Structure 1
């Protein structure tokens, strides 16, 4: 994994240094459930922030403002109430995680908002707006609250100082609207490739650990009946991408 990460971080950093100061550099990382895309996204984000911090080694006690933000697509799940309001609520709940159970238009609006020019000079986190918790130009994204099993609105602040933004999600590279329009607004789109059998094993462990399934048999059934069919669509309708990353069967790729 280390060699792949170094290649990706080097590539992004070189391109970022050529990016105008009023523009964000955005990366979308797609892949099937269990591919390791969340793990890769978090590592790339951390490495980009390390690269930024190394630009000012004269003050080791000073923690620079992170320049990279990580935004998972989980916050764009439709709520359980929205699923219950669908024509076939039982299927909607059973297939949660399928493309039709995500709020694609809202995800696209987030990407469009982040494509708006940044103020120059870029406000820092200390530059609070009048009565505001964040500096002017901050864009808020939802997260996913696993305790309540629903999105949490406005929980991820993407500050003006976050000039690198890493997105990850099942449908980031899907050749279907509105995902394809969102992908075209990215500077880089990557896809994490994995053998379906490897993904299946990872999903069983994950579902049991997260409490989504009571035991391995139920977890495997969920993987076979929902996650892997979603994966077939993700692979079958994949957009052309800038990088295909191989997810190997080692613990470095497992999202805890």
Structure 2
């Protein structure tokens, strides 16, 4: 999904998200999950914009390990896999967002700078009067530790973004080219890394509270949810 594409049902989704955002009540966290390139970031941004001050966006991507650490660990060639994130650090931030330690506290979250391909600490402020945090990432519904035990319990609801795989792969390839890879290198990275991660998270769709199907413009609840 590009920034120019419309989401005709964003008002419906925003109404669902608004039901979680109770000013003056306990802060809640809504997760947006799905495979790489599904359109999670765009949907999350539009939800936050539609909620007009009731929500803040805190992406999981801010918890990418730095390239130097990935190189030390021997994981640089599969950056984006579950073990290339600081999952426990992400969980700790979610817990702090749900229950800030000090009255009136603004909580600062890291962002991921695409041009640098690196996380940047303290980039995203979450003011104390914001009742809902929207967080998005590939692994929110991954049925593996620590994601299933440390992260998922901190999310009040998780939505799964579904889209045609061919379109999703095209988007991923274009994204890698836009940020410096050659077309051939981008296609190779998508086949080897991004699609391996997509297969790994695919079963999370059945564990979602809501599936947002971008191909049909519809939403539904998975049978086992």
TM range (shorter): 0.7 to 0.9
Q: Which residue of 1 aligns with 2:95?
A: 112
Residues 87 and 151 of structure 2 are in contact (CA less than 8 Å); yes or no, is this contact kept in structure 1?
A: no
Alpha-carbon distance in 2 for matches of 1:93, 1:35: 23
Q: Which residue of 2 aligns with 1:156?
A: 124
Asked if residue 139 in structure 1 is aligned to residue 107 in structure 2, the reply is yes
Q: Which residue of 1 aligns with 2:12?
A: 7
Residues 53-73 of structure 1, C-alpha deviation per residue, up to 9 Å, x if partnerless?
Answer: xxxxxxxxxxxxx22111111
Residues 23 and 129 of structure 2 are in contact (CA less than 8 Å); yes or no, is this contact kept in structure 1?
A: no
Counterparts in 2 of 1:67 and 1:115: CA distance versus 1, 3 Å: same
Which sections of structure 1, spanning at least 5 residues, go unmatched? 50-65, 124-135, 251-256
Alpha-carbon distance in 2 for matches of 1:239, 1:85: 36
Q: Which residue of 1 aligns with 2:190?
A: 223
Displacement over 4 Å in runs of 4+: none
Alpha-carbon distance in 2 for matches of 1:205, 1:117: 39
> Shift of residue 117 of structure 1?
6.0
State the secondary structure of the residue aligned to 1:173.
coil
Counterparts in 2 of 1:147 and 1:202: CA distance versus 1, 3 Å: closer
> Shift of residue 239 of structure 1?
6.2
> Shift of residue 20 of structure 1?
6.9
Find 2:165's aligned residue among 183, 191, 196. 196
Asked if residue 178 in structure 1 is aligned to residue 167 in structure 2, the reply is no
> Shift of residue 94 of structure 1?
1.1
Alpha-carbon distance in 1 for matches of 2:19, 2:112: 32
Residues 27-66 of structure 1, C-alpha deviation per residue, up to 9 Å, x if partnerless?
Answer: 10011111011110011110111xxxxxxxxxxxxxxxx2
Counterparts in 2 of 1:196 and 1:21: CA distance versus 1, 3 Å: same
Q: Which residue of 2 aligns with 1:253?
A: none
Whichever of the two has the greater Rg, that structure is 1
Q: How many residues align?
A: 211
Alpha-carbon distance in 2 for matches of 1:40, 1:201: 18
> Shift of residue 147 of structure 1?
3.9
Counterparts in 2 of 1:183 and 1:4: CA distance versus 1, 3 Å: farther
> Shift of residue 178 of structure 1?
2.3
Residues 25 and 186 of structure 1 are in contact (CA less than 8 Å); yes or no, is this contact kept in structure 2?
A: yes
Alpha-carbon distance in 2 for matches of 1:146, 1:10: 30
Alpha-carbon distance in 1 for matches of 2:67, 2:129: 34
Q: Which residue of 1 aligns with 2:207?
A: 240
Alpha-carbon distance in 1 for matches of 2:19, 2:33: 22
Residues 134-175 of structure 1, C-alpha deviation per residue, up to 9 Å, x if partnerless?
Answer: xx3111111123343321112111110221111011112222
State the secondary structure of the residue aligned to 1:184.
helix
